[in-house]
Structure 1
Amino acid sequence: MTSNPAPEHDSSPDVHEDSLRASVAADFPRTVEQLKSLVSIPGIAWDSFDPEHLNRSAAAVADLVREAGIEDVQVLRVDNNGTPGGPAVVARRPARDGAPTVLLYAHHDVQPPGDPDLWESDPFTAQERNGRLYGRGAADDKAGIMAHIGALRALTDVLGEDSPVGVTLFIEGEEEAGSPTFRTFLETYQDLLRADVIVVADSGNWKVGVPALTTSLRGLVDGTVEVQVLDHAVHSGMFGGPVLDAPTLLARLIATFHNDAGDVAIEGLVSGDDAAVEYPEADFRADSSVLEGVRLAGTGSIASRLWTKPALSIIGIDVPTVAMSSNTIQPKARAKFSLRLAPGQSPEAAMEAIEAHVQANAPFGAKVTFTPGEQGNAFATDTSASAARTALWALERAWGVEPVESGMGGSIPFIADLVDLFPEAQILITGVEDPDSRAHSANESLDLNDFRNAILAEALLLARLGARQG
């Protein structure tokens, strides 16, 4: 593994590093207990779940923020075509003496727990095992909330009224449902949320014990492709042979999405091979649970395949299940694709490219219907900017090792809205997850040592931003 070196800052008394470290450590048991309490609230922003739990979750976060010493706290929401969005907590402490304002983002809603039989403990009863905290939302993203609150408590404990940095907390309540009202929320409360630096605590670290600043995100487009060969199903014995069924033809179409090496084979997509970090294949195989004997797809470095090249997955197929199958030639089959985009790729151009590919590769003249879905822009951090350099310094001081400037293969579509509406703000993407956190999966967990370091790093970042610019 290689990384770009963190900036060389002195650990001067202006940030009270030793005192902040001691304060975070002393407060950490309380912070963990409060995280456990948040995990116990099953706030899921999906229509099929009880919205009262989401309201309870927002109220609990608001209480924690007030307890941290911020009095200006509101629970707000906006409508999306007449449907109320998820409750968001917004809290403010104004800057003074010309210091910057920092917007601290996280989200309090969580993914559904999924199959309970896959969990080793109840998903909404946080449990400590071997230095990790298990539970739904323990990592994604209630730990992000508590990292913000813990950092603010340490800052107040050490500096009191002497901290000039302004802080706005924005704890969203519908991120796992796709943030349907996020853009409207930003537009409605733009003045309330305006900041010089935005910290999005919803990413991860390189591995346990090694922090990372996420400096690039892939964009995303998705949609569906339907293949039709008949007006209606027919008996496979009477008509099979001259007519291939729709699932077979859909499979042939899907097979054209990649070349023999496993690279995406759609013309017109941006692709790079310039990831600055080395990701050993053995580490990737262990982190991703690839089965022994499965050959990795694509060319170029592992890191570039994850961060700077496109990646296309089929995430759903509509065909009869095996249990409901019959001896008929299926007239239609449909698949949903998810295409991750390299930084620099226009989502609109990517959608046009995949539609053109689908139509050009319609198998056996089958009728192919392409339906575009969601799309989001990629993102890249200017790591030479002052806030990014300060963040890298804070990560190094908190962990005691050089941080990695890491890309992320996933997408955070709302980052594009932040860039659009707050173009002057420096955006930093941090987080508490590690490769074994299993966010969205059963047995989601959080490494508690890294959690404590994340709180300290954010406290140091806030202190240094206030000291340098106040």
Structure 2
Amino acid sequence: MTETSQSARPTDPELAGRLREAVQGGLPASIADLSALVRIPSVSWDAFDPAAVEASADAVAALVEGTGLFDEVRTSRAPIEGETLGHPAVLATRAAKDGRPTVLLYAHHDVQPQGDDELWETPPFEPTVRGDRLYGRGASDDKAGVMTHVAALRAVKEVLGDDLKVGIVLFIEGEEEFGSRSFTNFLAQHHDQLAADLIIVADADNWSTEIPALTVGLRGNVTFRLTVKTLEHASHSGMYGGAVPDGMMAMIRLLSTLHDDAGSVNVAGLTSRDAEYPDFPESQLREEAALLPGVAPIGTGHILSRLWSQPSITVTGIDAPSVANASNTLSPSTSVRISARVAPGQTADEAFEALRDHLLAHAPWGAVVEISDVDRGNPFLVDTSGWGFAEGMAALGEAWGAEPVETGIGGSIPFISDLHDAFPEAQILVTGVEDPDTRAHSPNESQHLGVFHRSILGEALLLARLDARRL
């Protein structure tokens, strides 16, 4: 019998029943602890108070310590560059016994900025339950991921107690939303403590609130600041307009070259990936993405191919005079923030070179093009052939009562490639607590509490399965 068919056996029914009871009994405390974490505005961006991220790390460390499972629990920082340190992460370790595997559980406790408060129906850092969802910044991305790990560990401790043999490393990062800038240094600094046979990253989506997913493909990303200059100083638009190109006009013309008439990316050198996809009708895209009536989707090919396996380019910000402050002048320069997603199969370096070459070659009217503040993250394809993936599929199926879907992600989790580079022998599972209506990074982010419950149970069942498995 193969490893995969062995691992496909159901969890012992008596053990599974006890874990279900433990997860159910602990759910009110898990929701309360998640709410307490949401109240901490742990935005990791430079413009925000780092003390909140420190408070969040301390709160997570206390929750982890409270499980009573770990040999050591600590907060730690690694350098970004020179003496500049990243935000604090929580690291906890428990050694494996009797030939059991070691599993690394990853999530992050930092969050995105709340954005415009007026777009929130309830205060972003005051967790609020409406219906079957808990609303608040970070309620799902990724403090629910943090609490999925903590709650699953509590349940496993309650049921298995001192008999628990699986090794566990818990790594809760503090700057994922700001580019994981100290991540590779953190991996090097704590390499021996982080080494594992299976890595579980709880930072992705489920297919729906009723059907779980394991993510097998992730796009990479390239982001940078693009500046277009045409004048040494602003000039009167009535005096010189019509003969002199302004920075805004040149930027608009340059950005228009990035897509064809269908809205597909039109940059030589950016590649796509061939794959098979489940059914995903346009009506589902319209609902999940909140497309306005009459607005057509862009691109060509299967919709999920456009979301998972083709490159995309988005302008996510622009520095320009506001409408309220507009004057009759020709702007000497305009800057935008470009966010490009890279299809699996191409490196972020290759994608950046293609984008840079395109922008320089298509600068209109000799405009000066400058590119700065570049960040890159590689795409990733999960190896689905190992025992870890089979165990994960089985555990999620038992917990949810539905067969998991293998999905891609249009967004990027670049640090997964870093994990693979640091621990090439480790298998990787990308799980999640989000669903299509989570609205991560957006106003009114929320966590579906039924998904939260099933995610905790799925991880608890997986840990129990790993505890019974010898390497």
TM-score, scaled relative to structure 2: 0.95
Q: CA RMSD in A?
A: 1.8
Aligned length: 465
Question: Which letter maps to 2:16?
Answer: E
Q: Deviations over 1:104-161 (max 9, x none)?
A: 0111112222222222222222121111111121111111111111111111111222
Q: Deviations over 1:359-389 (max 9, x none)?
A: 2212123222333611110001111211111
Partner of 2:326: 325
Q: Deviations over 1:36-59 (max 9, x none)?
A: 111122222233333322222112
Contact 1:132 / 1:447 at 8 angstroms: preserved in 2? Answer: yes
- Distance, in Å, in 1 between the alignment partners of 2:385 and 2:392 is 11
Partner of 1:410: 411
| 1:199-214 correspondence runs (5 A) | 199-214=200-215
Bigger mean CA deviation after superposition, 49-58 or 439-448:
49-58
Partner of 2:301: 300
Residue 256 of structure 1: SS of its match in structure 2? Answer: helix
Q: Deviations over 1:308-360 (max 9, x none)?
A: 00001111222222222222222222222111000011211111111111122
Question: Which letter maps to 1:393?
Answer: A
Partner of 2:314: 313
Contact 1:275 / 1:307 at 8 angstroms: preserved in 2? Answer: no
Partner of 1:441: 442
1:32 partnered with 2:24:
no
Bigger mean CA deviation after superposition, 378-387 or 329-338:
329-338
Contact 1:132 / 1:448 at 8 angstroms: preserved in 2? Answer: yes
Residue 210 of structure 1: SS of its match in structure 2? Answer: coil
Bigger mean CA deviation after superposition, 95-104 or 220-229:
220-229
Contact 2:248 / 2:334 at 8 angstroms: preserved in 1? Answer: yes
Partner of 1:341: 342
Question: Which letter maps to 1:385?
Answer: G
1:228 Cα offset (Å)? 2.2
Contact 2:7 / 2:387 at 8 angstroms: preserved in 1? Answer: no
Residue 258 of structure 2: SS of its match in structure 1? Answer: coil
Q: Deviations over 1:378-421 (max 9, x none)?
A: 00111121111111111111111111101000001111211111
Residue 96 of structure 1: SS of its match in structure 2? Answer: coil
1:8 Cα offset (Å)? 8.4
Contact 1:7 / 1:389 at 8 angstroms: preserved in 2? Answer: no
Residue 136 of structure 1: SS of its match in structure 2? Answer: coil
Question: Which letter maps to 1:413?
Answer: P
| 1:58-457 correspondence runs (5 A) | 58-71=57-70, 72-80=72-80, 81-371=82-372, 373-457=374-458
Contact 2:203 / 2:432 at 8 angstroms: preserved in 1? Answer: yes
TM-score, scaled relative to structure 1: 0.95
Give me the identity figure in percent: 51
- Distance, in Å, in 2 between the alignment partners of 1:63 and 1:383 is 35
Long gaps (5+) in structure 2? none
- Distance, in Å, in 2 between the alignment partners of 1:460 and 1:186 is 28
Question: Which letter maps to 1:379?
Answer: F
Contact 1:394 / 1:458 at 8 angstroms: preserved in 2? Answer: yes
1:179 Cα offset (Å)? 1.5
Question: Which letter maps to 2:17?
Answer: D
Partner of 1:47: 46
1:246 Cα offset (Å)? 2.0
Bigger mean CA deviation after superposition, 44-53 or 175-184:
44-53
Contact 2:155 / 2:460 at 8 angstroms: preserved in 1? Answer: yes
Question: Which letter maps to 1:316?
Answer: G
Residue 140 of structure 1: SS of its match in structure 2? Answer: coil
